[in-house]
Amino acid sequence: MASHDLKYLISDNPRVMVADGSKLVRKLIADVLVRDLPGVEVVGCSSIEEARQALEDGPVNLVTTALSLPDGDGMELARSVRAAAQAYVPIIVVSGDAQQHLVERRFTEYVTDYFDKSLGHEALAEFISGYVQPQPIPGARVLYIEDSRVVAEATKRMLERQQLEVVHVLTAEEAFALLTAESLGRVPRIDLVLTDVTLKGELSGRDVVERIRIDFDYGKRRLPVLVMTGDANRHNQSGLLRAGANDLVQKPIEERLLVTKVLFQLRLARLEER
């Protein structure tokens, strides 16, 4: 889809459900939505029962939910939303266990995206704001590793529309040469690495992640790494995350989700530097 915010999904007066047992979290998310999405109606729900009642009262255009609610599992709520919705509704999990669920590949197909509360309230506000009204980060440099020129050209256009500078290479070896030059101050700083998991040559996307985390000793905030994969094997996906990938981007690539993930990781890294 060409548009990068939720306005192409929703009406002039969107209805957003925020399900969380924490009143503080509900208020934080509601405040961001009201600020960034004029005309929004925020429906705060502290339980699955309240959320189901809200769904009976009328359709919603976006849902955020905790994994654990006082009367059940947020995944069950996500399934209820999918069953009730006539149009696609983004569902975002906001939880202190989100990273563990991600690594263990326990999210279901009902979930669109996720946020780990351990990152803090300021990062949560950045995430929600970026989801409903993403702001570009002009000049941020993305090192993009993809051996298909056709795929690379399409993905580059998605990122360049966000005013990102994209440096495309075909192999992991080329990427390591650039990262070495960057570490020596010979080329401008690279802010994020985006790599396909399958690459021509001896090295894969997993090798990219491991080399960045071990050989270059760059942490997840110093140099975020997103891995694009079409491999649905949960063990393989978990291995990428355990090796140090910040997040995975499922193929075929959905532009809005790719942009959301890239911009959020860039913002999170900058929050860390403040």
DSSP state string for 5-31: SGGGTS-SS-EEEEE-S-HHHHHHHHH
Structure tokens at 126: 């950045």
Q: Determine contact, residues 48/19, Cβ cutoff 8 Å.
A: yes
Please report where in the chains the tokens 């975020």 appear, as a residue: 224
Q: Which residues of the chain have pLDDT under 50?
A: 1-10
169: nearest Cα among 190, 189, 188, 149:
149
Distance CA 80, CA 92 (A): 14
Structure tokens at 172: 């992991």
pLDDT at position 1: 31
Q: Which domains does the chain have, with CATH numbers?
A: 6-132 (3.40.50.2300), 141-273 (3.40.50.2300)
pLDDT tens digits, 107-159 = 888 888 888 888 888 888 888 877 777 788 988 999 999 999 999 999 999 99
pLDDT at position 173: 96
Beta bridge partners of 95: 116
pLDDT at position 169: 97
252 upstream amide cis, omega within 30 of 0: yes
